[in-house]
Amino acid sequence: MSLKPLFHQAIQNALLTLDLKESDLPNYTIEAPKDPSHGDLSTNIAMVSAKAAKEAPQSIAAKLADALRTQSDLFSDIGVAGPGFINIRFKSSMYHQDVKELAEHADVFGRNKAFDGKKIILEFVSANPTGPLTVGHGRNAVLGDTMARLYEWCGATVTREYYFNNAGRQMRMLGESVKARYAQQLGKEAELPEGGYEGEYISEIAATLVEGHGNALLGEEGEGVFKEAAEKTILEDITRTLDRMQVKMDSFFNEHSLYENKAIYDVVEKLNEKGLVYQKDGAVWFATSQLGKDKDTVLIKKSGEPTYRLPDIAYHRDKLDRGFDLCIDIFGADHIDTYPDVLRGIDVLGYDANKIDVLVYQFVTLVKDGKPYKMSTRKANFVTLDELMNEVGSDVTRFFFLMRSPSTHLEFDVAQAKEASDKNPVFYLQYAHARIQSVLRKVSEELGENRSGDVEWSTLEHEAEHSLMKKLFFFPDVIETAARAKEPHKVITYLQETAQEFTHFYHECRIMGEPKNVMASRAKLAEVTATVLKNGLSLLGVEAPESM
């Protein structure tokens, strides 16, 4: 059992001596103090229990501390600080026992049951097939895929879904743009439609049609055949781009199917039955003012075209009908306005809107040396995700998209991303893993078969060894916290701190040249550290190289 759950169990035992049950108390925290001199772990349970116990926090803390001291096989020190914090320090034997268990299950260390048995669907990227994926889509893709990996490590069954619309004005404009370029390449006069797509990729699709059909399509009425060709090509390109980023979708959901199976019209009918739909100025309105909003919302424009809200309500109902326990949407901050209306619609249709959640991310700006960076772009009038990966690589691209909180505007420093030094945080972590592997190869040469034998964990008594072990023990908690908070950057912060702890350990505690039993135990601790780094990087979709 890891040290944090061990302390949690000890607290539960101590509560019984005060005739208190954990279930009767508000949530309390167990975490590592910011100042390591205060102890291994600290809890605020005495402060949050004061009201239920009808007693001062310091008095409760003193009694709990006394009760914890009876569990003398666990703790070397227990103290009360400030307004009622309880700080504890574990005995070395507990560290040795815990790291032994960690080493025996290192490959799966970090996996937990926080979302065990839950069916979760993440809908992300979801760019309509009108062009290559942009840098903005890249942040969306990496956030979605990393959250999926986190939930899977927390025991959930996860579906990654890409929602797109191959109908509507944008797609018609795409078809007309390809049609115009097709005609131009055959020497015919043709103009792009106003507001049409001008990227080089449009000309490339047109050239493919010329190669495959010659001038046979010149007589085509409408844009249908051109739209279909463009959609097929662009979706294939999008899939290839996602593959480069290690993003694999489980399903693609076409919005058009919601019209084909009448789901859109059924939503309007159900809302109408509840007196929440009316017509005004030729449009169909959703009476959201009756549901807590300050004004009503248009569902269908007077042109007959639905707003985003209507198919979104139908789509989320479809997801809930498929039996998902949690439906998470990942989209940019510019889409947040319609989200509350979708929840209102789901709620009045009789579904549990609490099963729908959202991860909203801010936008990405490319910079170089602190200034806006204009990468050369051939494919379109914007920087494509492929072009960024060509410049800095897929590992770096994924990592940089995850470095900051999703709620924070991200400045992607291209110069830093290309650094092969500690200034580049990806390089720093990958090099830490590679350096450990190099050390382990030297140890294997020195110890031979003895390296894989029994380890004398009791030799690990140095402060730097304990500090590194303690950091490793928190890996499962970091994964759970990152998953619950939808903040994958917390994994990066943890990995950076772990690499720093290893560097401290490596400087303070020699591995080579020590007695064989010490060398073997320190090497095993280094090996476990490498596995945690590798597991963490795999959650981010980043490679952990054996050498650099």
Kindly report, residue by residue over 517-530, the tens digit of the pLDDT: 999 999 999 999 99
Please give the pLDDT value at position 155. 98
Q: Which residues contact 497 (CB under 8 A, 6 or more apart)?
A: 471
CA distance 525 to 536: 17
Average pLDDT over residues 351-359: 97
pLDDT band at 453, cuts 50/70/90?
A: low
Residue 146 corresponds to which tokens in the numbers above?
Answer: 């990393």
Question: Is the pLDDT reported for residue 2 higher than 80?
Answer: no
What stretches of 110-228 adopt beta strand conformation (E)? Answer: 119-123, 157-164
Please give the pLDDT value at position 131. 93
Question: Is the pLDDT reported for residue 505 higher than 80?
Answer: yes
pLDDT band at 73, cuts 50/70/90?
A: confident
Average pLDDT over residues 3-29: 87
- Domain annotation for the chain: domains and CATH numbers: 3-90 (3.30.1360.70), 169-244 (no CATH), 425-539 (1.10.730.10)
Please give the pLDDT value at position 309. 92
Q: What percent of the chain has pLDDT over 70?
A: 98
Instruction: State the number of CA atoms in the 13 A half-sphere of 284 facing the CB.
Output: 19
**Phi, psi for 137 (deg, rounded to 5):** -60, -30
Question: Is the pLDDT reported for residue 1 higher than 60?
Answer: no
359, containing H or E segment: strand 356-361
Contact 286, 296 (CB under 8 A): yes
CA distance 103 to 302: 65
Classify burial at 510, counting beta carbons within 10 Å of its beta carbon; exposed 0-12, middle 13-18, buried 19 or more. exposed
Mean pLDDT in the chain? 93
Nearest to 456 by CA among 519, 505, 409: 519
**pTM tops 0.85, yes or no:** yes
DSSP SS3 for 159: strand
CA distance 496 to 510: 21
Q: In the beta sheet, which residues pair with residue 331?
A: 360
Residue, of 55 and 346, whose pLDDT is higher: 346
CA distance 68 to 74: 9
CA distance 309 to 299: 6
Residue 131 corresponds to which tokens in the numbers above?
Answer: 């062009």
User: At which residue do the structure tokens 């302390």 appear?
Assistant: 7
Q: Can you give the C-alpha Rg of the chain in angstroms?
A: 29
Please give the pLDDT value at position 409. 95
Question: Is the pLDDT reported for residue 378 higher than 60?
Answer: no
Residue 252 corresponds to which tokens in the numbers above?
Answer: 């693609």
Instruction: State the number of CA atoms in the 13 A half-sphere of 177 facing the CB.
Output: 22
